Amino acid sequence: MRNDVRLWLVRKYIEFGAPENVAYEIPEEYRPVLDTTKEKEKPKSGIVYYDLSLTDLLEAGLLSVGDELVMSYKPRGGNQKKYKAVITKEGSMIVLDKKFKSPSYAALLGIQDAGSDRKTVNGWTSWKNRNGKLLADLRSEYLKQKENEAEQAASAAG
């Protein structure tokens, strides 16, 4: 007996400073996190979703506990501010004495602290390590490592 399983993640977002404002991200039907059905073809969209976290970068050695990340931001008509984040052992970032699992929420705190009224920011393209590499670049290195590992495993098996 075989049962096909599809699993989706529903994400909950709470606005900084207004915890009564809650939004839920309901994924599209065609994008389950786990799909055991045979049909794997999914519609193409302009949005790219990476299923990885800072913990993955820590485990791959691309980040280390205690590493400092920096971000600069200058709102329109405001002054440039620099923010520092410290990577924790559980893969979080500490910014302005607050802990975040998401680089985007950590960056959002910074830009709002600088005086912006923006509600979103891409933290992966905002934070840089001590060598000036964006988190997005480290993510690309991680994905390349995984791709190489998969190719090596496939060639060893075949």
pLDDT digits (tens, 9 = 90+) for 147-158: 888 888 888 876
135 lies in some domain: yes
Which has more pLDDT, 119 or 69? 69
Alpha carbons 36 and 93: distance in angstroms, whole number: 34
Q: Work out the average pLDDT over 107-124.
A: 93
Q: Work out the average pLDDT over 46-66.
A: 87
102 lies in some domain: yes
Alpha carbons 83 and 116: distance in angstroms, whole number: 14
> Given this model, what pLDDT does residue 157 score?
79
Question: Do 69 and 10 belong together in one domain?
Answer: no
CA angle 95-81-101, nearest 5°?
20
45 lies in some domain: no
Structural contact between residues 80 and 136, judged by C-beta atoms closer than 8 angstroms:
no
15-55, pLDDT tens digit by residue? 888 888 888 777 766 666 777 766 545 556 666 667 789 99
- Per-residue pLDDT at 77 exceeds 80: yes
Question: Do 113 and 61 belong together in one domain?
Answer: yes
- Per-residue pLDDT at 1 exceeds 80: no
Question: Do 14 and 89 belong together in one domain?
Answer: no
Question: Do 10 and 73 belong together in one domain?
Answer: no
Question: Do 22 and 97 belong together in one domain?
Answer: no
pTM for the whole thing?
A: 0.68
Average pLDDT along the chain: 86
> Given this model, what pLDDT does residue 45 score?
61
Question: Do 30 and 58 belong together in one domain?
Answer: no
46 lies in some domain: no
Question: Do 126 and 70 belong together in one domain?
Answer: yes
> Given this model, what pLDDT does residue 48 score?
66
Structural contact between residues 87 and 56, judged by C-beta atoms closer than 8 angstroms:
no
> Given this model, what pLDDT does residue 131 score?
94
104 lies in some domain: yes
Question: Do 60 and 135 belong together in one domain?
Answer: yes
Question: Do 124 and 59 belong together in one domain?
Answer: yes
Range of 27's domain? 6-35
49 lies in some domain: no
CA angle 53-59-62, nearest 5°?
80
Question: Do 64 and 138 belong together in one domain?
Answer: yes
Question: Do 108 and 150 belong together in one domain?
Answer: yes
19 lies in some domain: yes
Q: Categorize the per-residue pLDDT at 124 as very low, low, confident or very high, splitting at 50, 70 and 90.
A: very high
- Per-residue pLDDT at 112 exceeds 70: yes
> Given this model, what pLDDT does residue 51 score?
76
Nearest to 87 by CA among 57, 61, 64, 111: 64
**How many distinct structural domains can be found in the chain?**
2
Question: Do 21 and 62 belong together in one domain?
Answer: no
3-state secondary structure of 72: strand
